[in-house]
Amino acid sequence: MGQESTAVQAGVPAESGTGIASSGSAASGTVASGVGSEAAGSEAAGTAEGTAARGGKRRGQPGPKREKLPPLVDAFGGLLIVDKEGGWTSHDVVAKSRRLLRTKKVGHAGTLDPMATGVLVLGVERATKLLGQLILTTKSYTATIRLGQSTITDDAEGEVTATTAAGHLADADIAARVAELTGDIQQVPATVSAIKVNGERAYARARAGEEVELAARPVTVSRFDILARRDIDTGDTHFVDLDVAVDCSSGTYIRALARDLGEKLGVGGHLTALRRTAVGPFTLDHARTLDQVEAAAAAGEPVLNLDIDAAVRTAFAVRDITETQANDLRNGRWLEPVGLPGVYAALDPSGHAIALLQESGKRASSVMVVRPANL
């Protein structure tokens, strides 16, 4: 209504209103009718002029369609290895990447806590189908553990539940307890975690005030090294901060390591910083921040860290095949086995990934056709 009112005022001469008001006879009704018709015409003209002047659209009419820009990557895509900033959820990173690359076909190969920074592996376009085949069973981190304080989340984002002076702890005592948390161990996951309990995430139950008890799970901590120690005297208490490096199996909670180390030492502990330095074969050397990805997109430079062929060569063992064999795989046929274990990649003579294969009996069958005949 506001737009139409403005148009009437712009399109109808001021004297028209005066003429209508001074008419008192039956004839004036005709005049009024005539002026009304002129006003209606002026209103339409005024609306058109006003709308055109503002570059808008009339109510009820569709505006001009925005041109849909093509994705910045081809249909095969590849992997985007992101160096995630602190404070971002993995979903935030996926959403931002979709906007930057102009495609909805983006997914991640495993989450990273909002507090944490470092390596997050994303698949783009057809390479999203690779994510379920990637062997990402080993992960590496650097972290800082604070001894002398416990929190409800086992990290710095949770409410403090207990504080105990830790300045008396000797390096040898700390090293002995670290050794107990190295190797094949049983670990109770952090209560505020994404593990499901009766169909609901543990963190949702914990935040609702529920007492959550999670069962211990087998994990492997192949490296748990103390890199540095800092004694922190706050005046009220004494903390010990440990910078550590951890290599572990998928499913290991570094927050839980911090909690358990503090418990073993009798002072409590929690994680104050976490950076993932590697996931499987993908490291910080492969990674870029989202700001760097955005700058590359603006400059017309490649935005993916690894195209689909480079990603396959990085993540899988390789079998070279002939062009005839490549055509067989493109069309859903299988090859003779050659004795390679696990899932491996078949590359044609030009080095393009054709399929991921797995051998069983007398066949090497595709678990994923990277380049099908119809693509």
- The one catalytic residue in 83, 113, 260, 348 is 113
Rg value, the chain, Cα: 32
d(CA 246, CA 289): 23
Is 233 annotated in the active site? no
Tokens representing residue 339 in the block:
């004795």
Q: Which residues are catalytic?
A: 113
